[in-house]
Amino acid sequence: MPKPASRPKICDYEGSNYRTEFWEGKSRQYEDLVERAVLHRMLPNSGQRLLEIGAGFGRLTQEYHMYEQIVLLDYSLSQLQYAREQLGTSSRFVYVAADVYRLPFRPGVFDGATMIRVIHHMADVPSALRAIRRVLAPNAIFILEHANKRNLKAILRYALKRQQWNPYDLTPVEFVELNFDFHPEYVVQELKAAQFAPQERVPVSFFRLNVLKNRLPTNLLVGLDNVMQQSGLLYSPSIFVKSAATEDGVNNLNTDALFVCPETGAELKREGDTLISQANGLRWAIRDGIYDFKAPLDDAG
């Protein structure tokens, strides 16, 4: 069977200690709280089905309580396994291991999507955004967070000639392999190209400095950050962008058959713990309640 065309590299958190080593007990309560606060303001009052891209261990999943169903998508099975242990096996939560470049969903099956702390690992932003737009129904809300290339620290370092890359240039900068910063206008440009209509941008985490987090109360920093968010000054380390999918495309919100083959887009039929493509016989596993679309069973061995 011929191999699929090469794809951008994927940042894989499989088996990592991301939850314990990055979040838990690591003085990141400030970042967590300000991100939740922005989500509260941007999310709609209700919705049918949300795609949480890069859901990881489910840190933010409970914030999407206004949606009837939440599909947690991540490339790491181990992260999703932990999320499933915490959130349970209710049909309200669907766990899917796949990459954003080849989403295994029918067009137009989501009326909402979020991608928080994920796109900075994307080597091909245009392809990722096009893939997301395909699975969204017309007028669906998409909330994207991105690392800001034009942040105050980068501007100062560039002015002092302590970094070579220009924070004002629109080209993404890869400062570590598969870790990118993006200029705010580049992100808007690519969203529009992928048929999204940006509606609102909010700068976040102005006080992401250990010297401040270690000396000032978290609630004070969160309150100050909230004030700065209202300023609209897009010079913070992180920016949230709320967009709406254009009115083009299809609406498949009422279908129960979410999945298609990520390689061909063909129908899938279930046989036991596998999903089988009706086009070419590719088989995809269901492992401990998680739909595994990382690689076909024949390729995975």
| Residue 96: inside a domain | yes
Q: Are residues 227 and 300 in the same domain?
A: no
Q: What is the pLDDT of residue 299?
A: 61
Q: Are residues 108 and 167 in the same domain?
A: yes
Q: Are residues 289 and 218 in the same domain?
A: no
| Domain that includes residue 183, residue range | 18-255
In terms of Cβ atoms closer than 10 Å to its own Cβ (0-12, 13-18, 19+), residue 16 is middle
| Residue 11: inside a domain | no
The CATH number covering residue 244 comes to 3.40.50.150
Alpha helices in 115-215 (DSSP H): 125-134, 152-159, 184-193, 210-213
Digit-coded pLDDT (tens) for 218-251: 999 999 999 999 999 999 999 999 999 999 899 9
Q: What is the pLDDT of residue 298?
A: 75
| Residue 66: inside a domain | yes
Q: Are residues 150 and 238 in the same domain?
A: yes
Instruction: Give the rounded percent of residues in the chain with a pLDDT score beyond 90.
Output: 88
Phi/psi for 274 (5° steps) reads -135, 155
Report, as an integer, the average pLDDT of 7-14: 88
Q: Is the distance from CB of 182 to CB of 171 less than 8 angstroms?
A: no
Supply 176's token pair.
């570590």
Report the length, in residues, of the chain.
301
Q: How many domains does the chain have?
A: 2
Q: What is the pLDDT of residue 239?
A: 98
Q: Are residues 109 and 91 in the same domain?
A: yes
Report, as an integer, the average pLDDT of 263-286: 93
- The DSSP H or E segment spanning 296 is none
What is the number of helices (H) and of strands (E) in the chain? 8, 13
Q: Are residues 28 and 144 in the same domain?
A: yes
Q: Are residues 264 and 295 in the same domain?
A: yes
Q: Are residues 243 and 94 in the same domain?
A: yes
